[in-house]
């Protein structure tokens, strides 16, 4: 099987990329917990678009063949989203905004903010190829560590196959489990 082509997104790609992520995360435990049920799909798509715009400005967004998969990375020193964007994000999360808990980035680290594959394209190696490309890019940009969080044990196994290890694990009393994972570049080289 041929490896999917991965390219850097342009601004014009971001709406369709957000659609892919909205489809990929439609039933994801974390998004179901943090995004209100009312207009869930529209909120999810708009949040993905806002986050992709931010990652495009301050990091990098990758796309796989025909928008089948998307990954976004940000450096530790990326600024917070603009005030008007933050206000919209808060509106979209509504009374669930307090379920978000931003971590403190480690200097010299990059974060794999999101990675999703359209449900119709899952199981064909696209996620693995996006992970490989994200790791390559973070290394090229002199990251010491590439970090991520996931709320799906299947994803933990996938990331472990690509050199990530669990750095912490938490379970919210009324929400999903969260695995924080890192890939230290001293382990990669």
Show the domains of the chain with their CATH numbers. Answer: 6-188 (3.40.630.30)
More confident residue, 1 or 172: 172
* pLDDT tens digits for range 28-66: 999 999 999 999 999 999 999 999 999 999 999 999 989
Residue 140 pLDDT greater than 90, yes or no: yes
Average pLDDT over residues 81-85: 95
Task: Give the Å distances, CA to CA, from 7 to 10, 63, 118.
Answer: 9, 5, 16
Structure confidence at residue 92 (pLDDT): 97
The answer to whether 3 and 65 are in contact (CB under 8 A) is no
**Pseudo-torsion of CA 145, 147, 153, 157, nearest 10°?**
-30
Full-model pTM: 0.92
Structure confidence at residue 187 (pLDDT): 46
* pLDDT tens digits for range 171-188: 878 889 999 999 987 644
* pLDDT tens digits for range 86-139: 999 999 999 999 998 776 777 789 999 999 999 999 989 999 999 999 999 999
Structure confidence at residue 9 (pLDDT): 97
């Amino acid at each position: 099987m041929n490896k999917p082509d991965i390219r850097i997104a342009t601004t014009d790609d971001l709406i369709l990329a957000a659609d892919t992520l909205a489809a990929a995360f439609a039933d994801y435990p974390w998004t179901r917990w943090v995004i209100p049920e009312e207009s869930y799909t529209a909120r999810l798509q708009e949040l993905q678009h806002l986050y992709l715009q931010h990652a495009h400005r301050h990091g990098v967004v990758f796309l796989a063949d025909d928008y089948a998969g998307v990954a976004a990375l940000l450096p530790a020193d990326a600024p917070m989203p603009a005030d008007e964007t933050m206000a919209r994000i808060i509106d979209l999360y509504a009374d669930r905004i307090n379920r978000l808990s931003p971590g403190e980035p480690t200097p010299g680290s990059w974060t794999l903010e999101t990675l999703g594959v359209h449900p119709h394209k899952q199981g064909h190696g696209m996620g693995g190829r996006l992970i490989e490309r994200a790791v390559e890019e973070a290394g090229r940009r002199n990251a010491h560590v590439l970090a991520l969080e996931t709320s799906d044990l299947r994803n933990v196994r996938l990331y472990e196959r690509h050199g990530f290890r669990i750095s912490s694990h938490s379970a919210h009393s009324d929400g999903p489990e969260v695995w924080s994972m890192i890939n230290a570049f001293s382990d990669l080289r």
